[in-house]
Structure 1
Amino acid sequence: MNCELTGNKAGKGDTSTAPPGRDGIGGAICAIGDNSIDNCTIAGNMARGQGAGIYKANLSNSIVFFNQSESLGQSLDAQVVGGIAVYYDVQGWIPSISDPILQNSNVDPEFADILGPDGIPGTLDDNSRLTQGSPAIDSANGTRLFADLIHYGLLEFLNVDLDDRIRVVDDPNVPNASFGPPLDRGAYEFWPFICTGDLNVDGQVDDADFAVFVAAYNLLDCTALSMPAGCPADFNHDSVVEDADFVIFVGAYNELICP
């Protein structure tokens, strides 16, 4: 869940000495047994044979794009082979009569910059976050959010993304094509309003956000059981919601409207 796999290679023998994607299958994932890949982004991987993205794994709410096979190019078989897929976006997918039910698509997810400035997949400057208007926004199955035992040691819905930000954020600028809560496909949730202090994500920093901030301020510690996942009121990222965060919030409150 919530994974990003880029720049991996399935080669023949020692891939450190073989040309990229020289042999093999499953550039990012080669699964054995019953595996489920949920809310993941798998892009820019290489293999000689099939499944440069995924080989034999079940897939949901995920994006598999721009994976390269030496023998198959960027075709469907170069992206995914085997497994059961629902609510995913896969390059080369051929629509069928079942697609309105499974909600699978083959549309470019419009990443910010999948290769980054250096043009090399799998390096630190890659950016597979979604951009405004991406078809992956608000188009996943929100009922498939699984229990999360990682954040703060309690059972909760998986409501943060790979950036540790709130997972379900509705973008009012695109039609809601999701099933259940307006969840995005892939590892990162798109925020239509990137604005410090806009804690309820409505494009303004106002009294409603102040109420959310006060509740977090009273809890103080980001690891408190009732603190919202990702501790969004911790603006300076020091793991506590305190006076320093209040100063930042007041500055945003005075601006009122998000840029």
Structure 2
Amino acid sequence: DTPGASFDATFSDLQGWTPDLGGDGNLGDDPDFVDPAGADGLPGTIDDDLHLARFSPCIDAGNNLLVPEDIRFDLDLDPRFLDDPEVDDTGVGTPPVTDIGADERRPEAACAVDLNGDGLVDVFDILEFLEAFEKQNPAADWNGDTVLDIFDVTAFLGDFTVGCT
């Protein structure tokens, strides 16, 4: 705590936030995470699932103009701009509109290996994966063992070879 300190929040969801507190595009709703306390019932532990649940108010509610150009995917290696057709775009920008938060909600029909979200499974998806792997992005842990290694590359390439249905 710093006396007199302040911060600006824009296009954020802070439960209990009111318009009187200022900031563009802010929500005061429950963000509706999948399982914020996880299986152990304790928030803030490793088993928490902070992915956005279906119909979360944060889906397609961000501001595309605030996403840095070099941020092309989210924490799960999903495209940073991924439309959820079940939700109206309430944010700012040309669709698809980014979600509020660090993770895009992946619609059920989306293809996991289509990393750039262009509807095609091609070499550009491999390049996206390799870039994430090179940057040690946890989303490149394709086999889920918490270690980034050649097994993630082979797991991704195996899924890539199968493609999407």
Q: TM-score, normalised by structure 1?
A: 0.47
Structure 2 distance, partners of 1:121, 1:243, is 31
Give the secondary structure class of the aligned counterpart of 2:120. Answer: helix
Give the secondary structure class of the aligned counterpart of 1:135. Answer: coil
C-alpha root-mean-square deviation of aligned residues, in Å?
Answer: 3.8
Q: Identify if the C-alpha distance between structure 1 residues 172 and 32 changes in structure 2 by more than 3 Å, giving closer, same or farther.
A: farther
Give 5+ residue unaligned stretches, structure 1: 1-29, 34-55, 57-81, 147-155, 203-207
Higher strand share goes to which structure? 1
Check conservation: 1:199, 1:209, Cα contact below 8 A.
Answer: no
Q: 2:150 matched to 1:238?
A: yes
- The percentage of counterpart residues that share the same residue type is 36
Give 5+ residue unaligned stretches, structure 2: 144-148
Q: Look up the match of 1:195.
A: 111
1:223-234 aligned at under 5 Å gives the runs 223=131
Q: Look up the match of 1:161.
A: 74
Deviations 1:61-104 (A, max 9, x none): xxxxxxxxxxxxxxxxxxxxx422222212222235x77xx122
Higher helix share goes to which structure? 2
Q: Look up the match of 2:52.
A: 130
- Structure with the greater relative contact order (CA < 8 A, sep ≥ 6): 1 or 2? 2
Q: Look up the match of 2:130.
A: 222
Give the secondary structure class of the aligned counterpart of 2:17. Answer: coil
Larger Rg: 1
Count of residues in Structure 1 that have an aligned counterpart in Structure 2: 153
Q: 2:159 matched to 1:248?
A: yes
Q: Look up the match of 2:64.
A: 142
Give the secondary structure class of the aligned counterpart of 1:222. Answer: helix
Supply the AA of the counterpart residue of 1:188: D
Cα deviation for residue 169 of structure 1 reads 1.2
1:95 to 1, 9, 19: 19
